Amino acid sequence: MARPRLAATLLALLLAGPAARAQDEGEVLLAGFEDAADLATVTATGGALALERGRAPEGEGWLVATATPPGGAVAVRFAAGDLARHDGLAFHVRARLADGARPARLRLRALDAQGVELFQRRLSDALRGWSQRREPFAHWRWGDRVGRWADVRALEVEATGAVALELDHVRLLPGARGERSALPDPAWLAQLASPGDAAPWTHDVGPFRLVGPPTLAPALSSPAGALERAAARLTPLAAWLDRVAPEALRPIDDGPVVVAILPDAAAYGAFFARLGAAWRVVIAPPRGAGYAVQDLCAIVHDTAQGLDRPVIAHEATHALVARRLRLVPGDPRHAWLQEGLANYIQLCLHPESFELRAWRRAFIAGVKDDGLFRPLRAVVDGGVSPERYAQLASLVGFLLAERPGWVGALARGLADREPVADVLARLGSSLEQLEADWVAWGRATYGTPAAIEAGRHFPLPREWAE
């Protein structure tokens, strides 16, 4: 049974107004709760709002949002505008608990105009007495839909397991980096990859910034030319993605996409532990040489193979697709297209990653519940395992070759939480028809020895051929 929820909308200050815009780089007081005027535009459902007076954290008044019945989740919502130029949210908070109840916990949300969660943040410590919070926006995680801080229209504070949520002096903190104030600083991410006093190694490559500990820098150029070859593969990725999916192109950040290069598995795990600590979550990367989360990724360096390896092209593509197309790595709704794009690029740039002759066998066998190629409906409706990577790469290959514009349309629909079947219906197709067309294309493309002798899974995109 869903827990009761108290939603209170505080419209004390519309940040889109002229007065707020004049202070968009300074501190903005959303509500001080000093008098009844702060409650004049407040609405509540499922409970009651009141102003209490006395010994407040600041001034003489504070807000009390009481849940009905007691013990539910209590949420308070503030109207907001473009938050890109602000550093974070600050407030005083206290949760009133029932006798013997477990401590309440706090959750923050940033919502768009439709009330969809774009960003979220949890506090790890229980609320015991009045507590002052300063929560930098750069450490909030993505929510149910990927968006920009400029798209936020409301901020919400929620306490779970409390009888009442009390707030005082809620304000936006001034930004120091202009329009990038709310975004993660690439320099901070680089420091996570190289903790300590030494400055991290950084190297910009097209849309990416490779970062790592300075002690690793000499090894990254071994074997000779490895760094340059990796750069030549990574540099055109943004131009390629923009060309094949212009319909879905909505970058959330124009800064470099961070690719952390770590010396070994221990450093790789420690990087994600530090990132998780900042986000207040546990990040458990799977075993392997690389992992992408949101719009960044990390790679374990292999001194024998060097930097120019399939894994860096694969994981960097995941991060770039997240940044530019708003598809989240690991999200079950997005996984099939994310993996399809990443594996397609991997096979284009590193054709040795998969046996060419396997295509002919797989397409001749066709789609089976226990085969290499599974029914598309099962593949796109849930999480994707590595056994499906080749299938998804070939599906993207088919779409790019035979259905121009479909990759962009599908990516846009997925990012906007539209079911795949609905996007295909708008394109005049269905999952069953797409599956039949893809298999027919695969049999015609890979069914002859000539296709195998050509030595490539897919034509090399022109961004690399030029």
Residue 44: the pLDDT is 58
With CA atoms as reference, report the closest residue to 351 among 458, 221, 247: 458
What architecture does CATH give domain 186-465?
Orthogonal Bundle (1.10)
Q: How does pLDDT run along the chain (466 residues), one tens digit per residue?
A: 333 333 333 333 333 333 333 334 478 988 889 888 777 655 555 567 888 988 899 999 999 999 877 767 888 888 888 899 999 999 999 988 888 788 888 899 999 999 999 999 998 666 668 989 999 999 999 999 999 999 999 999 988 888 889 999 999 999 999 999 999 999 999 999 999 878 999 999 999 999 999 999 888 888 888 999 999 999 999 999 999 999 999 999 999 999 999 999 999 999 999 999 999 999 999 888 999 999 999 999 999 889 999 999 999 999 999 999 999 999 999 999 999 999 999 999 999 999 988 998 999 999 999 888 999 999 998 779 999 999 999 999 999 999 999 999 999 999 999 999 999 999 999 999 999 999 999 999 998 777 666 778 999 999 998 6
Per-position DSSP letters for 25-55, written without gaps between them: TS-EEEE---SGGGGTT-EEESEEEEEEESS
Give strand ranges (E) for 206-343: 208-212, 257-262, 290-293, 296-300
Q: Indicate where the chain has its CATH 2.60.120.260 domain(s).
A: 5-179
pLDDT in tens, 424-460: 999 999 999 999 999 999 999 998 777 666 778 999 9
* Structure-token pair, residue 286: 């799977």
With CA atoms as reference, report the closest residue to 330 among 317, 316, 345, 318: 318
Partners of 159 in the β-ladder: 74, 106
Distance of CA 302 to the CA centre of its chain: 27
Give the count of beta carbons closer than 10 Å to the beta carbon of residue 45: 11
pLDDT in tens, 313-358: 999 999 999 999 999 999 999 999 999 999 999 999 999 999 988 9
Mean pLDDT, the chain, as a whole number?
Answer: 89
Q: Indicate where the chain has its CATH 1.10.390 domain(s).
A: 186-465
In the CATH hierarchy, which top-level class contains the domain 5-179? mainly beta
